[in-house]
Amino acid sequence: MPTPAAFKLDLPVRPRRLRRTAALRELVRETEVRAADLIAPLFVVEGEAAPEGIVSMPGQFRLGLADLVRECRELWALGVRAVALFPKLDAALKDAEGTEERNENGLILRAVRAVKTALPDLVVITDVALDPYTSHGHDGVLNAAGDDVDNDATVARLAAMAVRQAAAGVDFVAPSDMMDGRVRAIRAALDAAGFGETGILAYSVKFNSAYYGPFREAVGSAQAAGTKLLSKATYQLDPANRRAALAEAVLDEAEGADILMVKPAGAYLDIIRDVRERSGKPLAAYQVSGEYAQIHAAARLGWLDLVRTRDESLLAIKRAGADLILTYFAKDVAKALA
Name the helix (H) or strand (E) containing 63: strand 61-63
- Is residue 48 within 8 Å of 41, Cβ to Cβ? no
User: How long a stretch of residues is the chain?
Assistant: 338
Q: Alpha carbon of 81 to those of 85, 109, 194, 315: distances in Å? A: 13, 20, 25, 19
- Is residue 190 within 8 Å of 181, Cβ to Cβ? no
Q: Alpha carbon of 213 to those of 108, 186, 221, 312, 328: distances in Å? A: 22, 28, 10, 23, 14
Tell me the three state secondary structure of residue 193.
coil
Catalytic residue among 263, 281, 318, 331: 263
Tell me the H-state helices in 256-326. Answer: 269-278, 289-300, 306-320
Is 263 noted as a catalytic residue in this protein?
Answer: yes
Name the E strands within 156-270: 172-175, 199-206, 259-263
Tell me the three state secondary structure of residue 236.
coil
For residue 33, which phi and psi values (nearest 5 degrees)?
-105, 120
The CA dihedral of 51, 165, 236, 148, to the nearest 10 degrees, is: 100
Tell me the three state secondary structure of residue 251.
helix
Catalytic residue among 206, 232, 318, 331: 206
Tell me the three state secondary structure of residue 81.
coil
Is 116 noted as a catalytic residue in this protein?
Answer: no
- Is residue 272 within 8 Å of 322, Cβ to Cβ? yes
CA 127: distance to chain centroid?
9
Active site residues: 206, 263
